[in-house]
C-alpha cells in the first residue's frame, strides 16, 4: 500500500478531476463517490470548493489551502471491496495520518498532530483505464471546522507512515516491502547482465539494462570515468549503492565483480621468477588477533614461510605500476608490501567496514595470507612416524591473482569469523 499527500493551491481543478467533472478525465464512468466529510453528500465540485474557501476565508495568506491525498493499495488486496470498505479504509487512514508526530534527526519537532478528520473533505474511488487497479483520491481542506489551520510540514512522510501502519493492520504488503522486492528483482537483473557480458564495458552494461526496460543514468567525472549510476523504471529510482549484496554493483566495484564472475577472461599474469622473500617471522593459523595485528597464540609454533609452501609465489616487495602499498602487522612487526589495486579493492569490498565489525583484522590477515607472510593451518600428514610436513598452502600455478585473493579471504574468514556490524542504518 502506497500513500501520497501534498498541499496544493489549485483545489478546484483537483476536485473536478477527482469527481470526473473535468474534461481531462477520459473515463468518468470509472469514478465512484465514496464519501464527503463534513459536507453534504450531493454537492458538486464547485459547491465543495466554495465551502472550503468560505471556511478558510479568514486565512487569505495561505495559498495552498487544500491537501490532496492518494491511497493505492494492491489490487489483489481490494478486489472484493465495497464502497463501505473503501470508506472504512479512508477513515482508518486519516485517523493514523492525524496521529503522526514527526521529529528531525536532532529530536526537534517538525510536524505536530493534525486534525484532517475534522476538516471538510471529498473522497473518490478511481480505477485505472488500462489495468483497472483501484485507488482513492481525496481533497481535504486545511482549515478545521473550528478555524485551526492544519500544518503541512512533512506531510509526505506523514502519509507514508500512516500507509505503513494501515497496511500492517490489514495484513497487506507495505511500501517498504514492495521496494525491497523490487530491489531484489533489479539486483538480479543487473547480476544476470554482468554474468552474460563477455567483456566489461559501461556502454554495453547500460545498453543491456535499457533492453530490460530500465532508464540508465551514468554519472561521469571530468575525465569521463563513471563515478555512479542510477536506474529508473516507472516512478521508481534505484541507486547503485542500494543494489546487490556488499556493494558489488557500485560504480567502483562492478568491474571487479565482473572479473570474479569471469576468471577465464582475466589476464592478470603472476610473477613466477621472483625469489621467495622470507620475513624474519611467519605464523601458522593458530594465532590470536590484537588490534589489527597477528600474533602467535597459546603454544602454537610459529612457522617460517618456505618456497615449498607455494608453487606460484610473488613476494610483492617491489612497487610496480598498478599496485598499492599496504602495511601488514604481524607480532607487532609491520611489513610493507605492494599488491595489485584490484586485489586491494576486492578485500575492501569483501570486508566492507560499513557492514563488517572486524573488517580491519580480516583485511590484515587476508593480505598476510596473500603475500605469504602467514599461512593458515591445513592438514598435515606423515607416514611411518615421519615428522615431515607436506603442508599444501599457496597459490596454484593455475590460479590467477584474483582467485588466489578469494581463497585467502575465505581462509581469513574461516580463522576469525565474519562479524556483522550492528547499528542504525540510513
Q: Give the CATH number of the domain where residue 147 resides.
A: 3.30.930
User: Per-residue confidence at 281, pLDDT binned at 50, 70, 90?
Assistant: very low
Question: pLDDT value at position 304?
Answer: 39
Q: Which helix (H) or strand (E) holds 70?
A: strand 66-72
Q: What's CA 376's distance to the chain center, in Å?
A: 35
Residue ending a domain, among 244, 263, 282, is: 263
Look at 129 and 260; give whichever has higher pLDDT: 260
Nine-digit cell string for 70 = 492518494
Q: Which helix (H) or strand (E) holds 331?
A: none
Q: What residue spans of 24-113 are helical by DSSP H?
A: 45-55, 83-99
The predicted model scores a pTM of: 0.49
Ramachandran class of 206: left when φ > 0, alpha when ψ lies in -120 to 50, beta otherwise? alpha
Question: pLDDT value at position 259?
Answer: 87
Residue 407 is assigned to a structural domain of this protein: yes
Residue ending a domain, among 173, 203, 223, is: 173
Residue 387 is assigned to a structural domain of this protein: no
Residue 86 is assigned to a structural domain of this protein: yes
Are 100 and 111 in contact by the 8 Å Cβ rule? The answer is yes
Question: pLDDT value at position 34?
Answer: 95
Rg (CA), the chain: 32
**Overall domain count for the chain:** 3
Question: pLDDT value at position 278?
Answer: 41
The range of the structural domain enclosing residue 366 comes to 314-376+396-425
C-alpha to C-alpha distance for 179 and 189, rounded to whole angstroms: 15
C-alpha to C-alpha distance for 342 and 256, rounded to whole angstroms: 7
Residue given cell 450531493 in the structure block? 42
Statement to judge: residues 165 and 208 lie in one domain: no
Are 15 and 122 in contact by the 8 Å Cβ rule? The answer is yes
Strand partners, 340: 323
Statement to judge: residues 73 and 120 lie in one domain: yes
Q: Compute φ and ψ for 356, nearest 5 degrees.
A: -115, 120
Are 69 and 35 in contact by the 8 Å Cβ rule? The answer is no
Residue 148 is assigned to a structural domain of this protein: yes
Question: pLDDT value at position 172?
Answer: 81
Residue 92 is assigned to a structural domain of this protein: yes
Statement to judge: residues 84 and 199 lie in one domain: no
Statement to judge: residues 116 and 95 lie in one domain: yes
Is pLDDT above 70 for 362?
Answer: yes
Statement to judge: residues 21 and 168 lie in one domain: yes
Q: Which helix (H) or strand (E) holds 117?
A: none
Region 364-380: mean pLDDT is 79
Is pLDDT above 70 for 381?
Answer: no
User: Per-residue confidence at 119, pLDDT binned at 50, 70, 90?
Assistant: very high
Q: What angle do CA 189, 191, 193 make, to 5 degrees?
A: 70
Statement to judge: residues 39 and 186 lie in one domain: no
Question: pLDDT value at position 288?
Answer: 41
Residue ending a domain, among 173, 190, 210, is: 173
Question: pLDDT value at position 100?
Answer: 92
For the stretch 43-94, pLDDT in tens is: 999 999 999 999 888 888 888 999 999 999 888 888 889 999 999 999 999 9
Statement to judge: residues 34 and 137 lie in one domain: yes
Are 77 and 71 in contact by the 8 Å Cβ rule? The answer is no
Statement to judge: residues 334 and 411 lie in one domain: yes
User: Mean pLDDT across the chain, nearest whole number?
Assistant: 81
Statement to judge: residues 217 and 325 lie in one domain: no
Residue 58 is assigned to a structural domain of this protein: yes
Residue 255 is assigned to a structural domain of this protein: yes
User: Per-residue confidence at 378, pLDDT binned at 50, 70, 90?
Assistant: low
Are 370 and 310 in contact by the 8 Å Cβ rule? The answer is no
User: Per-residue confidence at 294, pLDDT binned at 50, 70, 90?
Assistant: low
Statement to judge: residues 186 and 126 lie in one domain: no
Residue given cell 522486492 in the structure block? 181
Of residues 324, 316, 299, the one with CA closest to residue 369: 316
Residue 283 is assigned to a structural domain of this protein: no
Q: Compute φ and ψ for 261, nearest 5 degrees.
A: -85, -10
Of residues 195, 190, 185, the one with CA closest to residue 236: 185
For the stretch 159-217, pLDDT in tens is: 999 998 998 888 887 777 778 888 889 999 999 899 888 888 999 999 999 999 999 99
Statement to judge: residues 248 and 192 lie in one domain: yes
Statement to judge: residues 30 and 12 lie in one domain: yes
Amino acid at each position: 500500500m502506497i500513500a501520497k499527500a501534498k498541499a496544493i493551491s489549485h483545489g478546484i481543478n483537483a476536485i473536478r478531476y477527482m469527481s470526473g467533472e473535468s474534461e481531462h478525465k477520459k473515463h468518468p464512468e470509472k469514478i465512484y463517490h465514496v464519501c464527503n466529510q463534513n459536507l453534504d453528500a450531493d454537492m458538486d465540485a464547485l459547491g465543495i470548493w466554495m465551502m472550503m474557501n468560505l471556511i478558510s476565508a479568514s486565512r487569505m495568506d495561505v495559498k495552498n489551502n487544500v491537501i490532496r491525498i492518494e491511497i493505492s493499495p494492491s489490487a489483489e488486496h481490494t478486489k472484493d471491496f465495497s464502497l463501505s470498505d473503501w470508506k472504512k479504509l479512508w477513515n482508518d487512514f486519516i485517523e493514523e495520518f492525524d496521529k503522526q508526530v514527526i521529529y528531525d534527526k536532532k529530536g526537534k519537532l517538525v510536524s505536530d498532530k493534525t486534525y484532517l478528520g475534522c476538516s471538510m473533505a471529498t473522497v473518490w474511488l478511481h480505477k485505472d483505464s488500462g489495468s483497472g487497479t483501484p485507488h482513492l483520491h481525496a481533497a481535504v481542506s486545511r482549515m478545521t471546522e473550528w478555524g485551526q489551520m492544519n500544518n503541512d510540514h512533512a506531510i509526505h512522510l506523514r502519509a507514508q507512515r500512516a500507509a505503513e501502519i494501515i497496511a500492517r493492520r490489514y495484513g497487506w504488503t507495505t511500501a517498504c516491502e514492495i521496494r525491497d522486492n523490487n530491489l531484489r528483482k533489479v539486483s538480479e537483473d543487473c547480476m544476470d547482465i554482468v554474468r552474460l557480458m563477455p567483456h566489461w564495458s559501461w556502454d554495453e552494461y547500460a545498453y543491456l539494462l535499457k533492453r530490460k526496460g530500465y532508464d540508465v543514468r551514468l554519472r561521469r567525472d571530468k575525465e569521463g570515468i563513471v563515478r555512479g549510476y542510477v536506474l529508473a523504471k516507472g516512478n521508481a529510482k534505484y541507486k547503485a549503492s542500494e543494489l546487490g549484496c556488499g556493494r558489488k554493483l557500485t560504480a567502483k566495484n562492478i568491474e571487479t565483480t565482473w572479473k570474479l564472475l569471469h576468471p577465464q577472461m582475466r589476464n592478470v599474469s603472476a610473477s613466477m621468477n621472483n625469489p621467495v622473500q622470507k620475513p624474519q617471522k611467519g605464523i601458522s593459523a593458530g594465532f590470536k588477533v590484537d588490534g589489527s595485528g597477528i600474533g602467535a597464540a597459546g603454544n602454537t609454533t610459529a612457522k617460517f614461510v618456505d618456497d615449498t609452501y607455494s608453487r606460484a609465489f610473488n613476494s610483492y616487495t617491489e612497487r610496480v605500476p598498478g599496485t598499492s602499498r599496504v602495511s601488514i602487522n604481524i607480532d607487532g612487526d609491520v611489513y610493507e608490501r605492494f599488491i595489485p589495486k584490484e586485489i586491494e579493492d576486492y578485500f575492501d569490498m569483501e570486508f566492507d567496514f560499513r557492514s563488517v565489525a572486524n573488517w580491519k583484522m580480516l583485511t590484515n590477515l587476508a593480505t598476510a595470507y596473500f603475500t605469504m607472510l602467514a599461512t593458515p593451518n591445513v592438514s598435515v600428514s606423515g607416514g611411518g612416524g615421519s615428522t615431515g610436513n607436506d603442508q599444501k598452502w599457496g597459490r596454484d600455478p593455475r590460479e590467477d591473482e584474483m582467485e588466489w585473493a578469494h581463497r585467502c579471504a575465505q581462509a581469513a574468514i574461516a580463522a576469525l569469523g565474519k562479524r556483522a556490524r550492528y547499528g542504525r542504518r540510513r
